[in-house]
Amino acid sequence: MPDKAKVGFIGLGNMGQPIAGFILEAGFPLIVHDVRREAAAPLLARGARAVDSPGEVAAESDVICVCVPGPPEMEKVMLAPDGIVERVKRDTVCIDHTTNAPGVVQRVGSLLTARGAHLLDAPLDGGREGALDGQVTLFVGGDEAVLRRVKPVLDTFSKSVVWVGELGAGSVTKLVHNALAMSIDLLLTECLTLGAKAGVAVPRLVEAFREGCIVSNNMTFTKRMPSTLFRGDFAARFALKLAYKDFRLASDLAAKHGVPTRLLDLCELELLEAMNRGWGDQDRTKASTLQEERAGVTLRLPK
């Protein structure tokens, strides 16, 4: 890979736009595409160039990052007419940052291999907060030698890059990790409402949890909840509909491998109830207000 490889970036949403900005800031020539043309504007003002299709990105890039909401969007970017597979150059490395289904990743990977290109699945952990700081963690599946080639690009926006195995392993890791993270959200809310209902003031309870050893370093508790649930502000950092999609993908994975997931299934049902309330476009922590309703406790901190 050239020292300053041309990097293509497709998907400039809550995560993609700040991540692409760090790549640009590091001096890599950047070509971008998003179905919402206006999403590219901040990057264009800083020197990126926009094109009209994923295929155009592929035709000009040495490395292509894809950061879209889920499997259908990733397949469209890759497989549609004038998509990446149709126009990718030989030896290009495609990096899928989507929280994806492992089978989709593997199928697309085989098509890229047939074109002489490469695919890594490298979903992101750290949320929008990590993306804004350039401090996400990547769980990467695929050829480890190919990963070493593109690591200078990934290092521009990550605090750690963890190779987890063959293609598809990154997606498996992210699905089980997300299921754990979102289940912790719901368990935290249950415990906080119980403590508050039993007589401990919410600010004192939150301070105690921060000083304790169980959740003191948990990003949801230390960053996300203080900016969402504890303020009553549910503008989407990570939309509930995406969180529910991730639970469904984890459920599909469990069914495929015959692994019982009774506790995760309960958490998935909780998110389904929140979805049925019409909250899909709000932050995933909106689901925690269901427990507030049941307990008759509001977990807000003074400003």
Residue positions annotated with a catalytic role: 174
- Asked if residue 270 lies in contact with residue 287, where contact means CB atoms within 8 angstroms, the answer is yes
Kind plus residue range of the DSSP H or E element containing 32: strand 30-33
Q: How far apart are CA 39 and CA 60, in angstroms?
A: 20
User: Looking at beta carbons, which pairs linking 193-198 to residues 24 or more positions away fall under 8 Å?
Assistant: 193/291, 193/292, 193/294, 193/295, 193/297, 193/299, 194/295, 196/295, 196/297, 196/299, 197/295, 197/296, 197/297
The per-type count for the chain, helices as H runs and strands as E runs, is: 15, 9
SS3 state at 302: coil
Structure tokens that stand for 39 in this block: 């999403």
CA angle, corner 85, sides to 83 and 88, nearest 5? 100
Question: What dihedral do alpha carbons 249, 254, 257, 258 form, nearest 10°?
Answer: -150
**What backbone torsions phi and psi does residue 300 show, to the nearest 5 degrees?**
-115, 145
Q: How far apart are CA 152 and CA 50, in angstroms?
A: 22
